DNA sequence: TAAATTTGACCCAG
DNA sequence: CTGGGTCAAATTTA
């Protein structure tokens, strides 16, 4: 059995134990805080497990990187990259900015452009890794303020960091993920979708969390947090997910407060069936049936 | 003064 | 031709 599989089983067994403990807590009087902690831990464990399972597939994609066409290096403008269109990975998140106005995802970015986008109120900013030229790191991201909620930013990651200058976010960067009117989402379901660069959903890849009716901030919400992961020689070095992942999927309930926090950027889950069943299972695990405010 | 940002021009796919 | 991504000179910031 592979190392990762053992880790996943360990995680799931731990999750089961915590769920039992929670069940016990619910049967008897227990503090809300302790229940919250248990739920957080359980969800973290599931998230870890999913991430671990996805890793084997994901790391193959991580090996891909953009390549600059060296032949055109003397040209002022480089050819648009076409060949990677269908292979390059795109990660889409919605983030809230921090107090200093930045979105700290643990990487250093250099802004290199900004464009007005047809049909959008807000311009899109283009960032590339600060270490693009020193370390040939070809990671790129696009940030655009949400039209529907100015406090949110849609963050799209293209390419993967090959630099070794990853730092832990100094403060919590809030990444929530909004429901968009694209076909990525279906109702209240959470879909895990990989998108090719042309934004057509193809196969499952990204964790996309839906917040239905974002303007009203009601109906469902999910919160999840995780730290930068460290992977060395294919072995997990640290606990990936630290935080909370809260949801209220009961259609009968409404008025839930929404806050979403993620400590770092992208998590990737490769298999949609896995992810769907994962989220479906959460439906069974968590039945708040009442408004639930995270402190 | 080096690094980062701004911004108009350029380029290419559709 | 248009929209969106990138470049690089000018400008700002630390």
For the stretch A262-282, pLDDT in tens is 223 333 333 333 333 333 333
H or E segment to which residue A206 belongs? strand A201-207
pLDDT for res A114: 95
CA of A85: nearest nucleotide by C1' is B13
CB-contacted nucleotides of strand B (7 Å) = 4-14
Name, in order, each residue with C-beta under 8 angstroms of A222's C-beta and a sequence gap of 6 or more: A177, A190, A209, A210, A211, A245, A246, A247, A260
Q: Which residue is closest, via its CA, to the C1' of B9?
A: A77
Per the prediction, chain A carries an average pLDDT of 52
What crossing angle do the helices spanning A3-27 and A32-62 adopt, rounded to 10°?
160
Strand B closer than 7 Å to the CB of A115? yes
Distance CA A160, CA A271 (A): 19
pLDDT for res A47: 62
Distance CA A33, CA A229 (A): 27
Residue with tokens 């992208």: A266
pLDDT for res A86: 37
Question: How many CB atoms within 10 Å of residue A110?
Answer: 12
Distance CA A231, CA A64 (A): 16
Distance CA A224, CA A151 (A): 18
Distance CA A61, CA A81 (A): 17
Strand B closer than 7 Å to the CB of A130? yes
For the stretch A60-83, pLDDT in tens is 333 333 333 333 333 344 434 433
Distance CA A51, CA A208 (A): 14
Residue A166 CA and nucleotide C13 C1' are separated, in Å, by 24
Q: What is the percent of chain A where pLDDT is above 70?
A: 30
For the stretch A116-153, pLDDT in tens is 999 888 999 999 999 888 888 888 999 988 887 777 78
Residue with tokens 């934004």: A199
Residue A67 CA and nucleotide B12 C1' are separated, in Å, by 18
What crossing angle do the helices spanning A272-285 and A32-62 adopt, rounded to 10°?
180
């Amino acid at each position: 059995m592979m190392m990762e599989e053992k880790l996943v089983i360990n995680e799931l067994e731990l999750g089961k134990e915590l769920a039992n403990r929670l069940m016990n807590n619910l049967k008897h009087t227990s503090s809300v805080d302790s229940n919250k902690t248990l739920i957080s831990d359980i969800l973290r464990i599931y998230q870890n497990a999913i991430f671990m399972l996805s890793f084997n597939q994901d790391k193959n994609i991580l090996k891909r990187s953009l390549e600059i066409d060296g032949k055109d290096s003397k040209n002022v403008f480089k050819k648009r990259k076409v060949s990677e269109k269908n292979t390059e990975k795109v990660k889409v998140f919605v983030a809230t900015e921090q107090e200093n106005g930045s979105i700290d995802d643990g990487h250093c970015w250099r802004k290199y452009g900004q464009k007005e986008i047809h049909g959008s109120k807000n311009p899109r900013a283009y960032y590339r890794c600060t270490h693009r030229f020193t370390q040939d790191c070809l990671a790129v991201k696009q940030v655009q303020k949400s039209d529907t909620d100015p406090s949110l930013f849609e963050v799209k990651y293209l390419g993967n960091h090959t630099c070794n200058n990853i730092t832990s976010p100094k403060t919590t960067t809030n990444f929530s993920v909004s429901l968009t009117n694209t076909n990525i989402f279906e109702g209240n379901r959470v879909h895990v979708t990989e998108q090719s660069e042309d934004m057509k959903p193809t196969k499952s890849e990204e964790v996309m969390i839906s917040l239905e009716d974002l303007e009203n901030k009601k109906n469902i919400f999910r919160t999840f947090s995780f730290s930068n992961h460290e992977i060395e020689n294919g072995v997990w070095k640290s606990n990936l997910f630290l935080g909370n992942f809260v949801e209220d999927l009961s259609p009968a309930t409404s008025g839930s407060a929404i806050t979403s926090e993620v400590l770092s950027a992208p998590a990737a889950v490769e298999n949609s069936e896995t992810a769907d069943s994962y989220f479906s299972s959460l439906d069974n695990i968590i039945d708040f049936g009442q408004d639930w405010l995270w402190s």
